[in-house]
Amino acid sequence: MKHIGIIGCGTMGSGIAQVAATADCNVHLYDISAEALEVSKTKLIKILDRLIVKERINMARKESILANITYTSKLDDLSNSDLVIEAIIENEKIKNDVFSKLEDLVSDSCIIASNTSSLSITSLAAGLKHSHRFMGLHFFNPAPLMKLVEIIPALQSDTKLVTLARTTMEDWGKTTVLAKDTPGFIVNKVARPFYSEALRMYEEGIADIPTIDWAMRELAGFRMGPFQLMDLIGNDINYTVTETVWKSFYYDPRYKPAFTQKR
């Protein structure tokens, strides 16, 4: 699959676009905000310039990656896509509205995927006319560096299309895992206690934030402490995922959000 559409030019959408463009795909990166698209392009140029300084790529490679991405505020420009990956706000209604418009534009053979980190893939697929071509492709931040991609089929997903999408991700240099459509999938479900216990330790006065991060890095061997990681992800996003997982598991207290993070 060489023609890739990306919906949303935030941190994740821009990162996925960079990954696809680096794999020499023809990428159309869509966002309703022309200003956000310009910011995304400027950030990518800075990233590629740093890679040149580190001698990871040369100037010719930088130019080819940039040439592989078309920045657009017209959803129609994604009509020729073989694969479209949505990476917008974690809101089921907003995502479904976008998918509904997209389905009228792309071919019947186009795979439509969501980068959602917590919403039900089967529920999202149910809103499509051709739900068999929908699945979850969950990348991690920063997408160009993090190797893992969770492949999450909906109950309706065509297994042949899932295999095709998985092969494409591996062609992009990613390590893939097949995950069940459960709240948080694999990584975000496992990660909930990492964040929630750290937040509760802080709320209970057991230790301050720098100490908790230090202990997890230096004593437990984690690359980042829980609060560092929450900052990288964004506390707004991390809180929303926690709240979604908590509700999806019928308010299981193990996944209860913390007031500290909400504040």
Respond yes or no: is residue 243 known to be catalytic: no
Length of the chain: 263
Which residue in 86, 114, 131, 138 is the catalytic one?
138
Respond yes or no: is residue 100 known to be catalytic: no
Instruction: Output the CA angle 188-5-191, nearest 5 degrees.
Output: 5
Q: How many CA atoms lie within 13 A of 176 on its CB side?
A: 18
d(C-alpha 128, C-alpha 112), whole Å = 10
Respond yes or no: is residue 150 known to be catalytic: yes
Respond yes or no: is residue 130 known to be catalytic: no
Which residue in 150, 157, 196, 238 is the catalytic one?
150
* Cα R_g (the chain), whole angstroms: 19
Which residue in 131, 157, 188, 196 is the catalytic one?
188
> Please, which residues bridge with residue 29 across strands?
6, 71
Which residue in 40, 81, 117, 196 is the catalytic one?
117
d(C-alpha 9, C-alpha 27), whole Å = 12
Active site residues: 117, 138, 150, 188
